[in-house]
Every structure is written in structure tokens, then in C-alpha cells.
Amino acid sequence: MMGLRRSAACSVLVLALTAWLATAFAEVGPRQTLAANLAAGKPTVLIVSRTPTRADLRSEAYADWASYLNDFAEEHRRDFQFVKIKPAELKAIFAEHTPIKEPFATVFFRNAQTAVYYDGMIHDRSTYGAAASFLSGSETVPPGLSPALKSFRFRLPRS
Amino acid sequence: MPAPDKTFTDFALRRGDNDKLKRWGGTISTETGTPVQDLQTVLKAVGVYDVAVDGDFGGQTETAVKRFQWNVRTVKSRLVHGALEARAPSTTIKVNGIGDAATATELSAWGAAGAETTGNLSRANAASFAQFQNEAKKIDNPTIGNDDLIVDAGFLAHLAALNAAAAGAHVKLLINQAFRIAGAPVGGAVVTPATKSQHLIGHAIDCNILDGAKLINSDAFKHGTQTAAAKAFVNAAKAAGLRWGGDFGTPDFVHFDDFVNPDGEEYLMRYFFNQRTIFKKQPIPAAA
């Protein structure tokens, strides 16, 4: 009888330990990072990018996109958070379909309620300038901020 | 009295030559010396050979010889004890990767002068182009001023063509970028940088068009809402021989270049020397 009790207690302990370890060492994915950033009020730039192909790495359009985006990140690393995902991960991050159709896109989250997006590769410095103003400035998307940036309606899934 | 050791000016050194094997100029010799090592030492001193001096003339030594030959044929300046010195490009040296008599003589003279190769970059002051407004990020180099555009000397004529096209169409150009440093920014990259681009050799420019007070951005071209003047500018630039990114499979409406084959020797040479110029913070001559 004592042996059975001991064995049951051991099993419970092992299960509890396993659950604790799973929680403690669970990989923090982009979904969790984005949710945590927004909950903490940190403006976040979500970069949607497929793994660049050999052709991408030799294309001028990709070269310009990567260069301006890396410059923007370099300039604003202290102001904004940057999270990168693959297009296939969009479904896991948002509770509803997003308007993003391109393999390269950027969503600028001012907070948990407000965001703007660009579906495609941004090649204009002025668009990044408008995005930076949006992220660090007004609570809502000012009309005419940049015709290139569109309002992004989103809902994060309940964790 | 023993015969003096032979050096690299005594043979037309080539791939396969090796000091230990005493194979010089493609044949086994009975002479003494370390000509391949001597050659590699001078190639290193002139800035075209970055690996070990080992007396073995392999692919890297051949590439280094080609770099030197290309440089002396193309670049109109060199560095002597760190200072720029104008020079007339050679018309006699061939880019063949062989340390032939003409190459060896030139290389020997450079070594004696303490000269080093530099890139083919040029500083073009944006203010000298009436239609340009420079918005490009300044490259870290002591000789580059705030209003300087950095391009390969071979692209300077295209800057003038773009300026003329803009003047003809009565638009201004906001220049966003010209030469681009390869790789990730100092703080790291959020996305993988491209491996090939005309910007990496200084043969491209990105610009937005300003028609009066209206900024014509990529979306205007994408949706066909660009002005007639913007269209006229693009057509004039293309007529002047430039390639426009708006015509690419993945459009890049801000981009103009003159396309140097990214798999060809011209591209590789310009990439090596121009990126090295920036990396080593070498002085860059002002456009003539």
C-alpha cells in the first residue's frame, strides 16, 4: 500500500516538474514577443519576410528594401522593437485574416490598438519617416500621414 | 661569386609556379631565389593580396595579379604613403593573371614608390547638380562632405544625365542613396542584406521625384498616379541609357543604374576596390 502511494506521489511530482520545465523553457515565439511588447506599450515593427531566395539576394528591389529597412532599424533600435516573421506565421499571430498578400511586408504597431502597414517592399525613405512619426507620435493614424501606409485592423488571439 | 637570387621580374610567373618546386614561368629552374614569395609580398603591399605569402602561385595569387592589372588599367589615382596621387591608367598591361614583363615592371615600380591601390570611387557634390537634393545617409569617411554623393567614377556621366533629364522635365530629385556599403550595419541587420547590387559598386542611384511641391513616391507609380512630368523624367533618363527599376519584374521605382554584369570581372573588380576604399577609409578624390 505504502509502495503504491509512494509511486503515485512520484508520478505526480514528475508530471509537475515536466509541466514546470515545459513552461520555463518554452520557446518565446514572435507571437508572444509581439503580445508582450504591445502589452508593455512598446511600439513594435513587425517585419514579414519570406526566407530570401538566391534570386532575391541578387535583385535590386530586394537590395533596396533590405538596405532601407536595416538603416531604419539601426536608427530606431532604441525607440522601437523589431520582430521578424515568415508570411506563413501570420495566421498564428493574428486571430483574423490580415490584408497582407505579399511575401515582404511591414506592420508598424503604435500600441495594442493602432497599427499601420505596407504590403510589399518599402523603397521610399519618406515612408519610413512617416512610420517613425506614427510610431512615436499620435495615438491614431493621422489622415494623410502617408498614402503608402494603410490602417491595419487586427486582433491578437487570446493566449 | 654565386649568381644573385632571382625575383619576380625575372620570370613571367603564372598559376602553378612554386618556389619549393623551383617552378617559375611554367618551367623547372636551376636558379635560386623566392620569386613567387617576392611577388606575393609586393601584391600584399599594394593592397590586392590578403592571404598568406607562401611561395605557391595558386588561384588567390592569380586573382591578386588580375586585380593589380585591372587597377592600373582603370583607376586614375593611387595612394602614396596614404595620400592620393593622380596617375594615367596604363594601356599596355593586360588583365591576364600572369606576372608578365609589363606587369612585373609596373608592380616593382609601385613597390619601390611605396604606392597602394585604391578604388574607383568619386565624390560628386550634389550642389553642383541644379536638380538634385541630397537626402542620402553620409558614409563614414574623412574626405566625404555632407553634400557629397559617392559613386564609381564610371557612373559620373550618368549623374549628369539624370540631372539633365530632371531639368528637361522640370522636376527635382531627392537622392536617397548612391554607393552602398556591403553587409550588415554596425548594429546588425534585421533582414539579410543582398549579395549583389549595382549600389555595391557605385553604379546606381535611388531617388524620389519632386514635381513642384508634390512628392512622387513608389505608390504613385504603382497606382499610375504619377504626374506627367515624373513620367517625362523617367523616359528621358531611360533614353540617356539608364535602366529604371520600375521596369523590373519586382518593381523598384526609385532605382536607376547602368547595369554592370554582376557575374563579370568588371563588377568583381569594382566591388573589391570600391568596398575596400570605404572599409579602409581611404581618401576619395573629388569628381573632376
Q: Which residue's entry shows cell 519610413? A: A128
Dump pLDDT digits (tens) for A94-104.
988 999 999 99
Return the residue of B nearest to A71 by Cα: B185
pLDDT digits (tens, 9 = 90+) for B90-123: 999 999 999 999 999 999 999 999 999 999 999 9
Closest CB from A49, A64, A148 relative to B219: A148
Give chain B's mean pLDDT: 97
Chain centroid offset of residue A126 CA: 22
d(CA A135, CA A107): 11
Q: What per-residue confidence (pLDDT) applies to B2? A: 76
Q: How confident is the model at residue B23 (pLDDT cuts 50, 70, 90)?
A: very high
In a domain, A81, yes or no: yes
Residue A139: per-residue pLDDT: 47
Cβ-contact B177, B137 below 8 angstroms: yes
Structural domain for A72, as ranges: 2-151
Burial class (CB in 10 A: 0-12, 13-18, 19+), B179: buried
Tell me if A159 is assigned to some domain.
no
Given an 8 Å threshold on Cβ–Cβ distance, is A60 in contact with B180?
no
How many A×B Cβ pairs under 8 Å?
111
Interface confidence (ipTM) of the complex: 0.93
- For residue A28, is pLDDT > 90? no
| C-alpha–C-alpha distance, residues A48 and A71, integer Å | 17
For all residues of chain A together, what is the average pLDDT? 84
Report if residue A90 sits inside a domain: yes
- Those residues with Cβ within 8 angstroms of residue B219's Cβ, 6 or more apart along the chain or in another chain: A147, A148, B225
Nearest CA to B33 among B46, B25, B45, B22?
Answer: B22
Cell (9 digits) for A114: 493602432
Residue A92 lies in a domain: yes
CA distance linking residue B11 with residue B40, whole number of Å: 14
Specify if A157 maps to a domain. Answer: no
Question: Is A158 contained in some domain?
Answer: no
How much is the pTM? 0.90
- Beta-carbon contacts of B167 under 8 Å, excluding residues fewer than 6 positions away, are B130, B131
Segment A120-138 shows an average pLDDT of 91
- pLDDT at residue B251 greater than cutoff 60: yes
pLDDT the model gives residue A16: 54
The more confidently predicted of residues A126 and A11 is: A126
The mean pLDDT of A55-73, rounded to a whole number, is 97
| Cα A112 to Cα A124: distance, rounded to the nearest angstrom | 26
Mark yes or no for CB contact A70/B218 under 8 Å: no
pLDDT digit string, tens, across residues B192-228: 999 999 999 999 999 999 999 999 999 999 999 999 9
* From A17-31, B233-247, B273-287, the region with the lowest mean pLDDT: A17-31
Answer yes or no: is pLDDT of B150 > 60: yes
The CATH number that applies at residue A33 is 3.40.30.10
* Domain annotation covers residue A138: yes
Phi, psi of A152 (to 5 degrees): -115, 110
Number of domains in chain A: 1
Secondary structure of chain B as H, E, C letters: CCCCCECHHHCCECCCCECCCCEECCEECCCCECHHHHHHHHHHHCCCCCCCCCCECCHHHHHHHHHHHHHHHHCCEEEECCEEEECCCCCCCCCCCCECHHHHHHHHHHHHHCEECCCCEEEEEHHHCCCEEECCCCCCCCCCCCCEEEEEHHHHHHHHHHHHHHHHHCCEEEEEECCCCCCCCCCCCCCCCCCCCHHHHCCEEEEEEEECCEEECHHHHHCCCCCHHHHHHHHHHHHCCCEEHHHCCCCCCCEEECCCCCCCHHHHHHHHHHHHHHHCCCCCCECC
A67 in Cβ contact with B193 (< 8 Å): yes
Whether the per-residue pLDDT at B130 is higher than 90: the answer is yes
State yes or no: pLDDT of A78 exceeds 50.
yes
pLDDT at B184: 84
Mean pLDDT, range A95-117, rounded to an integer: 94
Q: State the pLDDT at residue A159.
A: 64
**Which of B 207-246 lie inside 8 A of A, CB atoms?**
208, 215, 217-219, 245
Is B167 a residue whose pLDDT tops 80?
yes
In a domain, A129, yes or no: yes
Q: Which residues of B touch A59 (CB under 8 A)?
A: 194, 248-250
Query: How confident is the model at residue A158, as a pLDDT?
Result: 74
Residue B14 has pLDDT above 70, yes or no: yes
| pLDDT confidence bin for B3, thresholds 50/70/90 | confident
